[in-house]
């Protein structure tokens, strides 16, 4: 009763998820009305920042782009969840000696140091206790350690503040994706899913078994790697390669290849060959993570692969990966849990909104504690 009254006086504020990627800024804001979640605002701002731009200039340009967009669309939400990924962050699932939360708060830097490849002074370190277990008779706790470089976190805070928003939380791309996937697939689902968020500089990989994340890793094979490979074979620049990959498909079956040969599509064949080379490297890296996961003595093998990120639009990528990994592959609709699907979002923008959607699902209470 009282809590309802308090809620009326102080309605929960909407959180805006802002995913500042290397290729585009993605924005999502949900609003809950009578327990029904609706999409309030969304945005996709492609960035075309010249390679010789200084980091400070780059930050200022991004802030300005976001600010202009918010104004143009009359987006009112202020409280923002942003995120870091790639080489700015390390996530490790480790067993530590059993300590209470209080004890661990005091000793976490010492306990975590061997697992963190950065200088512990340069990172923001957080952890979460997942489980208790025993190892050779000794009581242990299973924890997830997250170390994010202070500088990278500060950069995101600066860009968000510079856009006139209030940076409430800086999350990790993989955790935002985890939040999204637990909405999309109920935790009880009895399977193991491999998630690949294919962006411009990084591919975020997670293996989630029955709702519990087992492996989190960022792989540096993504859109830019495809651009480089395509630019090399076609002797064009990266921007032209970026456009070429949007118009082309990976030739997977013999029929696909035969059709390309018969129509003398030399450029299409070259783009496909370059893309296949990159996809094979990606396959090798992803397979390593699958092997690592399987070596932990699990009896669950990967049952399906879910793709998100802009690169999941590459023509025939699902067909190619399904043939390589021999499991079903699908592209995620990050808004599939809404009762009403917004109609005005272009099909190729939708999978790129995954991280922003996961960020926007954060609630005030997530960081009020
Ligand atoms: N229709 C399309 N077909 C093929 N590729 C596409 C398409 N649309 C976007 N992409 C590619 O997706 C990539 C960008 O994806 P995304 O927006 O997820 O990256 P980002 O989040 O900005 O980058 P990062 O997370 O690495 O910082 C680019 O390489 C872009 O060329
Ligand atoms: Mg991204």
Report the separation in Å between the CA atom of 355 and the middle of ligand 2, taken as the mean of its atom positions: 7
Taking the CB of residue 32, how many other CB atoms lie within 10 A of it? 13
Q: Is the dihedral of CA 30, 127, 162, 24 positive or negative?
A: negative
Which ligand 1 atom minimizes the distance to the CA of 354?
18
Which residues surround ligand 1 with Cβ inside 6 Å? 21-24, 199-202, 222-223, 242, 245-246, 309-311, 313-314, 348, 352
Tell me the best of 42, 223, 320 to mutate to test the pocket of ligand 1, counting ligand atoms within 8 Å of each CB and taking the most.
Answer: 223
pLDDT (mean) for 84-108: 89
CA distance 31 to 20: 21
Which ligand 1 atom minimizes the distance to the CA of 314?
4
Largest CA distance in the chain: 73
- Of all residues in the chain, the percent with pLDDT exceeding 70 is 94
What backbone torsions phi and psi does residue 63 show, to the nearest 5 degrees? -55, -45
- The SS3 call for residue 125 is strand
Strands (E), the chain: 15-20, 24-33, 36-46, 79-84, 89-97, 123-135, 138-149, 166-172, 192-198, 203-209, 212-219, 304-308, 329-331
Ion ligand 2 — residues with CB < 5 Å = 21, 199
Question: What residue ranges do the domains of the chain occupy?
Answer: 88-148
Report the separation in Å between the CA atom of 20 and the middle of ligand 2, taken as the mean of its atom positions: 7
pTM: 0.93
What backbone torsions phi and psi does residue 248 show, to the nearest 5 degrees? -120, 165
> What are the beta bridge partners of residue 125?
147
Report the separation in Å between the CA atom of 309 and the middle of ligand 2, taken as the mean of its atom positions: 6
Which ligand 1 atom minimizes the distance to the CA of 204?
25
Closest ligand to Cα 62: 1
By C-alpha distance, which of 231, 238, 246 is closest to 51?
238
Query: Which of 3.40.190.10, 3.40.50.300, 1.10.1060.10, 3.30.1490.300 would CATH assign to domain 88-148?
Result: 3.30.1490.300
pLDDT (mean) for 13-29: 95
Q: The sheet that has 192-198: what strands, in order across it?
A: 212-219, 203-209, 192-198, 304-308, 329-331
Closest ligand to Cα 46: 1
pLDDT at residue 369, rounded to an integer? 37
pLDDT at residue 354, rounded to an integer? 98
Report the separation in Å between the CA atom of 311 and the middle of ligand 1, taken as the mean of its atom positions: 5
Protein residue closest via CA to atom 31 of ligand 1: 242
pLDDT by residue (tens digit) across 132-178?
A: 888 888 899 989 999 999 999 999 999 999 999 999 999 999 999 99
pLDDT at residue 8, rounded to an integer? 52
Please check the confidence at residue 281 and state whether its pLDDT lies above 60: yes
Report the separation in Å between the CA atom of 213 and the middle of ligand 1, taken as the mean of its atom positions: 24
Which ligand 1 atom minimizes the distance to the CA of 197?
18
pLDDT by residue (tens digit) across 313-360?
A: 999 999 999 999 999 999 999 999 999 999 899 999 999 999 999 999
Q: In which residue are the tokens 């999978």 written? A: 351
Which ligand 1 atom minimizes the distance to the CA of 23?
22
CA distance 197 to 176: 11
Residue 10 sits at the vertex; the CA angle it makes with 4 and 11, to the nearest 5 degrees, is: 80
Report the separation in Å between the CA atom of 108 and the middle of ligand 1, taken as the mean of its atom positions: 37
Report the separation in Å between the CA atom of 199 and the middle of ligand 2, taken as the mean of its atom positions: 5
């Amino acid at each position: 009763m009282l809590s309802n009254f308090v809620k009326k006086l102080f309605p929960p504020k909407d959180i805006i998820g802002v995913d500042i990627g290397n290729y585009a800024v993605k924005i999502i804001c949900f609003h809950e009305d009578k327990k029904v979640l609706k999409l309030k605002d969304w945005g996709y701002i492609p960035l075309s920042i010249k390679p010789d731009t200084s980091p400070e200039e780059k930050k200022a340009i991004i802030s300005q782009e976001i600010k202009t967009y918010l104004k143009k669309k009359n987006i009112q939400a202020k409280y923002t969840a942003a995120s870091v990924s790639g080489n700015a962050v390390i996530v490790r699932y480790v067993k530590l000696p059993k300590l209470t939360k209080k004890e661990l708060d005091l000793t976490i830097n010492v306990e975590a140091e061997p697992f963190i490849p950065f200088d512990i002074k340069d990172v923001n370190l957080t952890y979460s206790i997942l489980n208790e277990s025993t190892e050779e008779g000794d009581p242990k706790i299973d924890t997830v350690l997250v170390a994010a470089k202070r500088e990278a976190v500060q950069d995101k805070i600066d860009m968000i503040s510079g856009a006139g928003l209030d940076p409430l939380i800086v999350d990790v791309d993989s955790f935002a994706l985890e939040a999204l996937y637990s909405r999309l697939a109920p935790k009880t689902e009895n399977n193991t899913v491999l998630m690949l968020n294919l962006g411009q500089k990084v591919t975020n990989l997670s293996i989630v078994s029955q709702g519990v994340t087992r492996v989190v890793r960022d792989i540096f094979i993504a859109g830019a790697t495809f651009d480089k490979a395509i630019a090399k074979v076609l002797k064009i620049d990266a921007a032209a390669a970026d456009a070429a990959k949007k118009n082309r498909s990976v030739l997977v079956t013999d029929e696909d290849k035969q059709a390309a040969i018969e129509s003398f599509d030399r450029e299409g064949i070259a783009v496909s060959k370059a893309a296949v080379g990159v996809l094979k490297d990606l396959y090798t890296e992803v397979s390593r993570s699958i092997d690592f996961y399987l070596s932990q003595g699990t009896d669950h093998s990967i049952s399906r692969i879910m793709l998100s990120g802009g690169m999941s639009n590459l023509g025939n990528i699902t067909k190619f990966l399904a043939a390589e990994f021999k499991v079903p592959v699908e592209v995620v609709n990050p808004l599939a849990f809404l009762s009403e699907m917004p109609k005005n979002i272009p099909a190729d923008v939708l999978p790129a909104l995954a991280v922003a959607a996961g960020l926007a699902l954060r609630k005030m209470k997530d960081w009020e504690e």
